[in-house]
Amino acid sequence: MTDNVAKSNGTTPAAVPASGLAAKGSAVVKWADDRLGLATSQKKMIRKVFPDHWTFMLGEIALWSFVVLLVTGVFLTLWFVPSMGEVQYQGSYDQLRGVEMSQAYASALDISFDVRGGLLLRQMHHWAAMIFIAAMLVHMMRVFVTGAFRKPREVNWLIGGVLILLGVVEGFAGYSLPDDLLSGTGLRIADGLIKSTPVVGTWMSFFMFDGEFPGEAIIPRLYVAHVLLVPGLILALVAAHMLLVVYHKHTQWAGPGRTEENVVGYPMMPVYAAKAGGFFFIVFGVTALMGGLLSINPIWKYGPYDPSKVTAGSQPDWYMGIAEGLLRIMPHWETHIFGTTWSWNVFLPGEVAPMILLGVMMMWPFLEAWVTGDKAEHHILDRPRNAPTRTAFLAAMMSVYGLLWAAGGNDLLATQFSLNMEWITRFMRVAVFVVPVLVFFIAKRWCIALQRHDSEKILHGYETGIIMRSPEGAYSERHLPISGEEAYRLTARARDNVVAAPVNGEVEAKGARAAKLRAKLSTWMFADNVQKPTAQELEEAHHHAEHEHELEAGLAHAADGHQFDGHHDVAGEELRH
């Protein structure tokens, strides 16, 4: 297989027959190439091979929705006025005609009602933002659950984590810009979070708002962050992220001909470029459809921001939902020392907990590498079931995330499902600790059961669903051996190595405690896993199967329709598909 790939990667580009239009085209290309020298530099890039799998396109959703954000965002900057100067609205939305409001809000209303296509572009921008962060998370989950963060990709994993954080900050800044009642309420919460920081909180808040909340500075400042600072950082990190993908080469699933040394797939030009380019238009299309058909952030209904007002159903965009949920379920803990207030009820859920959640996810690759002591490079992905602890950990984290988001919408759960808001809150206080543990164990046992099933398939073949009756009258299900390709796919993984605890001497060796912890973690992570069968086990199983076949053989005729009764050659049978 590797030979095939190598052959197709020629060193010279295919010759173009020089005739008519093509000749003209090639002349232009040659003119450009003589001056820019792109062909030589891009030759390698054009032949770059990417493996094909739908999960490898999730990060692309994030990339393309970011492009949609840039395009629509540029459009919006042409009309948005980032100022808190007071104006009287005189646009075409009747219900607010003559109302005093900030220029930011008035211009956001103008974009919605008086700029041609403005509302569509504004809604596309917002939907793309929601999808951007969701896609980053989905992509991160895929990378996590397949172990694609392992050496040499740890740095790219960290870059991805920073990108998610920046995406959330960028989204929040954008949410705050229109200066409607909802965005102002969001800023008020942000102000509260900042002020809850011990010692420096109030100072930081006054620094950020240039005085008491809300002041006049925050909208222009957020605007600069939203259109210049954060997008610049995101763009730079996206570039670094993708350069590292090119440098490391893309990971691939195990399969015949695929090793840690090669990449099997299609070249960038024309196959992958067409697929990825086409996917951009799909992402753009879905965003445009959502922007055109689904209302998002109807700012004209919220009215201008006024610190004395609030509306029921005030919620952040979904990606801030976990912070909102944490705030809502946190008990009221405050300490008063020497006339100062320490707001643990805001500081812990608002600042500490989200950072811990993100931090744990970011640190996992290093924790795992330390426990396994694995220093090898990994380009072949793990199937999620083959890393049960890792997969179960992600499932548990997902359940925390989901629960916290639900807790952030406790008022809506209460009204939509006729529930009691206080009981939802109390339930969540317990559930965020209990449910993830349950989810962890269920997911882990599920993975191990799937591993066991894989082993069964390797050793005894797959279940055909054909029930055989022996001459004695006993019933059994016929198993057939799996294909060589499948067997390769199932067995292409290393055996887990459980690190043993150090033997206790009289004097505790240096670092013994860490070693003990490492052994414990290793047992926790890998001891229960089902390892792939050894060659000896496989041989025994096959021998056993042959023996069974001999026992089952003997009938002179095939039962009606039962061509799998062990008397016939089944090599050409179709049932295995």
Partner 1 sequence: MRLLNRSAGRLSRHRRGPVAGLLVILLGLLMAGGLFAAFSSSATAENSADGLTQSQKIEAGRKLFLLSCATCHGQNGEGVVAENGESNLGPSLVGVGAAAVHFQVETGRMPMAATGKQAPRKPAAFTEQETEYLAAYVASLAPGPAAPTKTDYDLDAVKGLSADEQRDAIVRGGKLFLTNCTACHNFEGSGGAMPWGRYAPPLKGVAKQHIYEAMLTGPQQMPVFSNNVLTPEDKRDIIAYIYSVNDKKQTPAYGGFGMKGLGPVAEGLMAWLVGIGGLVLFAYWIAAHTARTHKKEDA
Q: Is the dihedral of CA 266, 269, 275, 280 positive or negative?
A: positive
Residue 37 or 285 with smaller CB distance to partner 1: 285
Q: Among 26, 42, 315, 464, which residue sits at the site for partner 1 (rule: CB under 8 A)?
A: 315
The smaller minimum CB distance to partner 1, of residues 414 and 442, is found at 414
Closest CA to 218 of 244, 184, 241: 184
Considering only 38, 200, 376, 419, the residue that binds partner 1 (CB under 8 A) is 419
The stretch near partner 1 (CB under 8 A) out of 119-127, 196-204, 345-353, 441-449 is 119-127
Residue 53 in the binding site for partner 1 (CB under 8 A): yes
Question: Token pair for residue 143?
Answer: 């990378």
Residue 178 binds partner 1, judged by CB under 8 A: no
Token digits for 532?
């792939």
- Looking at the Cβ atoms of 61 and 115, the one nearer to partner 1 is 61
In the complex, the smallest distance separating the C-beta of residue 481 from partner 1, rounded to whole angstroms, is 27
For residues 123 to 162, the per-residue mask of contacts with partner 1, x marking binding by CB under 8 A and - elsewhere, is x---x--xx--xx--x------------------------
- Shortest CA distance to 76 belongs to which of 32, 128, 41? 128
Long-range pairs of 455-460 with CB within 8 A, sequence gap ≥ 24:
455/530, 455/532, 455/533, 457/482, 457/486, 457/490, 458/482, 458/487, 458/490, 458/491, 458/532, 458/533, 458/538, 459/533, 459/537, 459/538, 459/541, 460/541, 460/545
The residue within the footprint of partner 1, chosen from 76, 96, 397, 541 (CB under 8 A), is: 96
Q: List CB contacts of 299: < 8 A, sequence separation 6 or more.
A: 105, 108, 109, 112, 178, 180, 182, 183
Exposed/middle/buried for residue 200 (C-beta within 10 Å: 0-12, 13-18, 19+): exposed
- In eight-state DSSP terms, residue 9 is S
Q: Can you tell me which of 162, 169, 189, 296 binds partner 1, judged by CB under 8 A?
A: 296
Per-residue three-class SS string for 28-52: HHHHHHHHHCHHHHHHHHHCCEECC
Under rule CB under 8 A, residue 414 binds partner 1? yes
Least Å distance, CB 128 to partner 1, is 9
Secondary structure (3-state) at 334: coil
40 interacts with partner 1 by CB under 8 A: no
75 binds partner 1 (CB under 8 A): no
Nearer to partner 1, 72 or 205 (CB): 72
Judged by CB under 8 A, does residue 410 bind partner 1? yes
Q: Which of 354, 409, 436, 533 binds partner 1 (CB under 8 A)?
A: 409
Q: Under rule CB under 8 A, which residues in 528-557 are in contact with partner 1?
A: none
Residue span binding partner 1 (CB under 8 A) among the ranges 223-231, 288-296, 439-447, 557-565? 288-296
Structure tokens at 529: 């896993």
Contact 315, 321 (CB under 8 A): yes
Cβ proximity to partner 1: between 196 and 297 the closer is: 297
Secondary structure E strands in 5-109: 49-50, 86-88, 100-102
Interface residue with partner 1 among 7, 10, 11, 54 (CB under 8 A) is: 54
Phi, psi for 411 (deg, rounded to 5): -70, -35
CA distance 268 to 79: 39
Residue 422 contacts partner 1 per CB under 8 A: yes
Residues 225-284 that bind partner 1 (CB under 8 A): 266, 271, 275, 278-279, 282-283
Is 98 a binder of partner 1 (CB under 8 A)? Answer: yes
Query: Among 218, 290, 431, 443, which residue interacts with partner 1 (rule: CB under 8 A)?
Result: 290
